[in-house]
Amino acid sequence: MTGPAMPSDHTESEEPVTRLPARLEDRFHRFREKRARRRGLTPIVIPYTGYGSTEWLRVLARVLLARPGTEDEIRYKKIRGWRSFTSVPVGDTAVHVGVDGVEHAVTADRGGVIDDVISVSLSPGWHTITMRTEGSHPVEAPVFIVDPKATIGLISDVDDTVMVTALPRPLLAAWNTFVLDEHARTPVAGMAVLFEKLVRDHPGSPVVYLSTGAWNVAPTLTRFLSRHLYPPGPLLLTDWGPTHDRWFRSGRAHKEESLRRLVEEFPDLRWILVGDDGQHDEELYASFAAEHPQRVAAIAIRQLSGGEAVLAGGRSRPDVHGADNPVPWVRAPDGAGLADELARIDLL
């Protein structure tokens, strides 16, 4: 089984003018890359957590220019957010992925992001793979293989769901993203315990963290989740910047595409979708549940406090999911309340 083919950034029939934003970004990246290489920086691979089935594996990583041997420093060292956005990506670079002694070749996209599916033969559970590019040291990455017998999976939003960020407020968003490090971010009470209970009660099930954040902050988010005892799982983020026909990527489209892809990749799983009522999670999940009612076990919404709702720009409409939606919805202000509600419908 292989993952679904992903849409390419452009086709031959598109007008050149539609590619202007991407061409300008590519020119800027080439300028920065030349300067960085003159300073002695070389390509390194920053691996992210991957996932797959016993027959295929989705490999996630990013290729950057950095001082040789600094992969672990970037992945594990405490840094302020703005430093994550000063790195220089390397596009169209070949990367070698080692899985159980077999090497696979993948290629980074124009933003340095690796998001490829390779054929494997792995048992369910956690495994370690290696990645390297020409001249770099091999680095290890964890990957989770979903048990074919699993029936439940968990997909969770990040901002204001697992950690309090008040992201939509522009000034606070800039502060949280570019200034604060992960030690200054606040976890949502009880949410890590809830996720751990779900993993324990549904062994072999995947936990996926879905966010509109940029791949630049993946190491920071991974450290945050680990520090606050959230169960490990892949982060599905996006690459900031222009596409072939627009100046900025759509966060909503990224989440929609990720949800649909997970449904296609794991046809036997029903998903518990976790989000909050301060952005567009309810509308997004309601639309997805209406499209795939048999694939959604429940939708769990964390209710923001009054202050958090103000910072987030208000709450979603309470009737967004509709009275005729067959998927159960549960609501509570924290993880403990959501656990009680999920237990009430026999999902815990």
Residue tagged 């990506």 (tokens): 89
Please check whether residues 168 and 316 belong to one and the same domain. yes
Please check whether residues 339 and 228 belong to one and the same domain. yes
| Residue 172 within a domain | yes
What pLDDT digit, counting tens, does each position of 171-225 carry?
555 555 555 566 667 899 999 999 999 999 999 999 999 988 888 888 888 989 9
Range in 63-67, 79-83, 212-216 with the lowest mean pLDDT: 79-83
Number of domains in the chain: 2
| Residue 43 within a domain | yes
| Residue 263 within a domain | yes
Span 316-327, average pLDDT: 63
Please check whether residues 63 and 164 belong to one and the same domain. no
CATH number at residue 204: 3.40.50.1000
Check pLDDT > 70 for residue 3.
no
CATH number at residue 72: 2.60.40
Please check whether residues 181 and 324 belong to one and the same domain. yes
Check pLDDT > 80 for residue 55.
yes
What three-state secondary structure class fits 96? strand
Res 82: pLDDT = 47
Predicted confidence band of residue 243 (pLDDT cuts 50, 70, 90): very low
Predicted confidence band of residue 317 (pLDDT cuts 50, 70, 90): low
Decide which of 145, 164, 192 is a domain's last residue: 145
Please check whether residues 237 and 98 belong to one and the same domain. no
Q: Domain residues for 98?
A: 16-145
Report the C-alpha gap between 313 and 29 in whole angstroms. 34
Please check whether residues 271 and 305 belong to one and the same domain. yes
Range in 189-193, 252-256, 319-323 with the lowest mean pLDDT: 319-323
| Residue 10 within a domain | no
Please check whether residues 21 and 135 belong to one and the same domain. yes
Res 268: pLDDT = 94
